[in-house]
Amino acid sequence: MEHRNYMGGQWVDSESSRTFESLDPATGEVVGVLPLSSAADAEKAVEAAAEAFNGWRLTPAPKRGEILFRVGQLLQERKEQLAQLVTREMGKVIAEGRGDVQEAIDMTFYMAGEGRRLTAHTVPSELPNKFATSLRDPVGVVVAITPWNFPIAIPSWKLSAALICGNTVVFKPASDTPVLAAELVKVYEEAGLPAGVLNLVTGSGSEVGDVLVKHPRVDVISFTGSTDTGRSVLTETANRIKRVSLEMGGKNAIIVMEDADLDLAVEGILWSAFGTTGQRCTAASRVIVHRAVERELAERLVDRASKMKLGNGLDPAVDVGPVINARQLQKIHEYTGVGLQEGAKLVVGGEIARQGELARGSFYPPTIFTGVRPDMRIAQEEIFGPTLAVISVDSLDEAVRVNNDTRFGLSSSLYTRDVNRAFEAIRDITTGVVYLNAGTIGAEIQLPFGGTRGTGNGHREAAWTALDVFTEWKTVYVDYSGRLQRAQIDLVEGIG
C-alpha cells in the first residue's frame, strides 16, 4: 500500500517523487511504500505548521482536549488493527503490539484531561492589593523525531503533549516504521484536528531530519533515539538556542540480592531482557547478582531462555520476535563476538537464527553471558538486542556502584526482601526510574519518564513534566492598589 506525506491538511506526494519500502522484519514482505522526502518537503511541512500555529494556540485548551479525547476513542476502536500492524512493521509479539497501542490510548486520554488543567501556580504576593500568578504559553512549532521500537506509543507521548499545550507539530518517524506513523496521523485527522496543526514527513534522517533540526522556524525538538544521533541534534541546535528534549540510550541493570525471591526475579529478568527482543531503551542488559545465588540464578535463566520460541509475532505462541532489520541483526551478533573476545562465557544463544522460516527474517535468540566484568564492553555499551550480561558482586554497596557505573542512567531494578536495603538502594541508585521486585520495563504514563547521564538532557517525558518541554512560563502580576509598589523595597504598612 502506498502512503503520502501529510502537510497543511492534505496528503501529498514528495517533491522528490522518490519512494522507499517498509519491510516486515519477520518475513521480508513489503508492508508499505512511503515518500523518500526531500529538503523541500521538510521546508513545506515547517511552513504549514508555522502558518497554523496562531489559530491553534488561540483555540481554547478544553477544545483541544476534546479533539485529543476523540483521538483516544479512535485508537481504542482500532486497537487490534493497529496492534497487528505494529507486529507486522516493527516485529514485536502481538501481546506487546497491543500494549504499544494501549500506551498511546492511555497517554492521549491523560493529555486530553490536561486541556482543563494545564497546571500552573497562583501564589500570594508580598505586597497588598497585588495578584501574582503564572501561565503556560505554547512555544511554537515542534519537531517530533521518533524511534521504531515503540512506533505508536512514543509518537503519542510527544504529539499529545505538544498539541494540548497549543503547539503545532512536524512529525518525522523512523524509516523502519513509517506506515504506523501514517496510520496514526489519519486518526488525528479523523478526530478533527485543524489543517496544518500536525504534519507528517517520511524519509531519511540525513536529508529530512537535518533540515527540520536546523530550520529557523522550528522552536522545539523532541527526539527519542540513539545517543549518537541525540548528541548530534544537541550540537546542531546549540548556537540556534532551540529547546531540545532528548531521550536516548540505556544500559539498565537488575540487581538480585541473596535474599531475593528467585522465582520472581527470573520472571522479571526474562521479561526485561528479552521482551521486545531486547529492543527497548529500558531493557535489562545486565544482571548484577550476589555471588551466593549467582550459579542458581544463571542456571534458571539459561534453562528458561533456551526454551523461548522465536518466530513471527502474529503467532501467539511466539515468545521472541525478530530484530528490526538486517543491519541491527549484524550489530547484535558482532557484540557476541566482542563478549567472547573479552573472556565472558557464552552460556546460551549467540548465533543468528537461520533455520526454516526464521531465515526469511532477522532473528536472534536470547543470549546470555556469565563471568562478565563490569568494565567489559558488553557490560557498558548499549547493544539493543536480546543479549544479557551476568555480573557477580559481594554486597549491595558493590551492586549499586556497578549499577551506576555506566554512561547511561535510565532504569534499574532491585530484587530483595529486606526493606532497609531497598530504601538504601532507592537513595543511592542514580537512574531516572527505579523498580523494586519488578523488572526494568513497564513505566506508567502518569509519572515522569527519563534518565540521567547519557540517557537524556534533563527533560522528562510523560505525566505533567512533559508540559514543561512544550510550554513557556509566563509570570503575571496585577497591581490593583492604585499606587507604585516596589517589590523587596516597600514594606507592608504596619510591618517592619
Instruction: Looking at the structure, tell me whether residues 382 and 427 fall in a common domain.
Output: yes
pLDDT above 90 as % of the chain: 92
How high is the pLDDT of residue 144?
97
Residue type (1 letter), 316: P
Q: Which three cell numbers stand for residue 265?
A: 526475579
Query: Which helix or strand (DSSP H or E) is residue 392 part of?
Result: strand 387-393
Domain co-membership, 287 together with 190: no
Neighbours of 379 (CB within 10 A): 24
Distance of alpha carbon 210 from alpha carbon 145, whole angstroms: 11
Which strand (E) or helix (H) includes residue 141? strand 141-145
Show the domain range for 292: 252-436
CA distance 319 to 302: 15
- Has 296 been annotated as catalytic? no
Rounded to the nearest integer, the mean pLDDT of the chain is 96
Q: Is the pLDDT of residue 171 over 80?
A: yes
Task: Give the position of cell 533456551.
Answer: 306
Q: Is the four-CA dihedral 180, 462, 169, 173 of positive or negative sign?
A: negative
Q: Are strands 130-138 and 168-172 parallel, antiparallel or unpaired?
A: unpaired
Which CATH number covers residue 22?
3.40.605.10
List the grid coordinates of 229. Answer: 544521533
Number of domains in the chain: 2
Cell representation of residue 141: 512549532
> Is the residue at 487 inside a domain?
no
Asked whether residue 281 falls in the same domain as residue 188, the answer is no
User: What pLDDT shows up at residue 491?
Assistant: 66
Residue 496 pLDDT > 80, yes or no?
Answer: no
Closest CA to 287 of 298, 277, 276, 296: 298
Question: Residue 442 domain-assigned?
Answer: no
pLDDT tens for 314-340 read 999 999 999 999 999 999 999 999 999
The strand ranges marked E within 315-377 are: 345-348, 367-370
Set 96, 103, 247, 294: catalytic member: 247
Per-residue pLDDT tens digits for 209-240: 999 999 999 999 999 998 889 998 988 888 88
CB 171 within 8 A of CB 159: yes
- Please indicate, yes or no, whether residues 138 and 238 belong to a single structural domain of this protein: yes
Helices (DSSP H) in 314-405: which residue ranges? 326-342, 377-380, 396-404
pLDDT in tens, 182-191: 999 999 999 9
Whether 215 and 310 map to the same domain: the answer is no
247 is an active site residue: yes
Tens digit of pLDDT for each residue in 3-18?
999 999 999 999 999 9
Q: 353-400: per-residue pLDDT in tens?
A: 999 999 999 999 999 999 999 999 999 999 999 999 999 999 999 999
- Specify if 484 maps to a domain: no
* 166 shares a domain with 22: yes
- Band of residue 281 on the pLDDT scale cut at 50, 70, 90: very high
**Which member of 89, 96, 281, 382 is catalytic?**
281
Which cell goes with 40? Answer: 523541500
pLDDT of 464 reads 94
